[in-house]
């Protein structure tokens, strides 16, 4: 099953039909995806399931219905075990951005972390899950697929937010403070930390 966030509300892509009744179920093959997205943005739908019988075809079917933007981002640790966060548009987020021509996704992720935070000396230590969310640009709804990587940095300086990207501050956050930070973050960012916790238990 995939979770795609639209306006921070979940759109579940599944090949199983659940007995729950607090959501709307649509057939992915025949649905007008734009209409569902608009209804979620208008708060007319809080939670929806898109059903497709073949799990391998689910994401392919969605991508055929909506333009896709590919991005890379980093969950960056320093030697104290703190995590690098950025603050933008009133919320805490992790550094990420779109792929440039002929760029490998790992390069994208490291370049974006460095551009958005000034933190360098990065190395990738693990590949994390992808996250999916829908955004609107120039009147067109697009699906952003972000490939996340766990990274480590020996950077000793002061991180600097990329102002032209609207980044107001950059901070290294102690693991104990992360649950509080996540209260004012995005649902797809919270997913990354759920997985992290599972790995560490």
pLDDT, tens digit, 9 for 90 and up, residues 145-182: 999 999 999 999 999 999 999 999 999 999 999 999 99
Q: Tell me how crowded residue 90 is: count the other CB atoms within 10 A of its CB.
A: 7
What is the pLDDT at residue 153?
A: 97
170 and 78 inside one domain: yes
SS3 string, 178-191, reads HHHHHCCCCHHHHH
140 and 162 inside one domain: yes
pTM: 0.91
Name the domain count of the chain: 2
| Residue 196: band (very low, low, confident or very high) from pLDDT cuts 50, 70, 90 | low
Average pLDDT, whole number, for the chain?
92
Helix %, strand %, coil % of the chain (to 5): 30, 40, 35
Supply angle C-alpha 49, 52, 55, rounded to 5: 110
CA distances 135 to 6, 11, 126, 127, 194, Å, are: 7, 13, 27, 24, 23
46 and 76 inside one domain: no
pLDDT of residue 20 exceeding 80, the answer is no
Task: Please give the residue range of the domain that contains residue 43.
Answer: 2-63
């Amino acid at each position: 099953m995939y979770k795609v966030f639209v306006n921070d509300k979940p759109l579940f892509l599944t090949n199983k039909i659940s007995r729950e009744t607090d959501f709307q179920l649509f057939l992915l093959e025949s649905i007008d995806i734009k209409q569902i997205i608009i209804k979620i943005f208008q708060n007319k739908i809080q939670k929806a399931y898109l059903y497709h019988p073949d799990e391998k075809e689910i994401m392919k079917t969605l991508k055929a219905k909506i333009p896709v933007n590919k991005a890379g981002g980093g969950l960056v640790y320093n030697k104290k075990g703190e995590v690098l966060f950025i603050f933008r548009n009133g919320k805490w987020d992790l550094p990420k951005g779109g792929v440039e021509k002929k760029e490998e996704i790992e390069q994208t992720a490291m370049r974006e972390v460095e551009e958005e935070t000034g933190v360098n000396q990065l190395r990738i230590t693990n590949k994390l899950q992808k996250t999916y969310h829908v955004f609107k640009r120039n009147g067109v709804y697009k699906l952003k697929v972000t490939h996340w990587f766990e990274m480590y940095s020996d950077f000793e300086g002061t991180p600097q937010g990329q102002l032209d990207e609207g980044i107001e501050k950059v901070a290294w956050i102690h693991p104990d403070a992360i649950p509080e930070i996540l209260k004012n973050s995005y649902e797809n960012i919270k997913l990354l930390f759920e997985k992290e916790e599972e790995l560490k238990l």
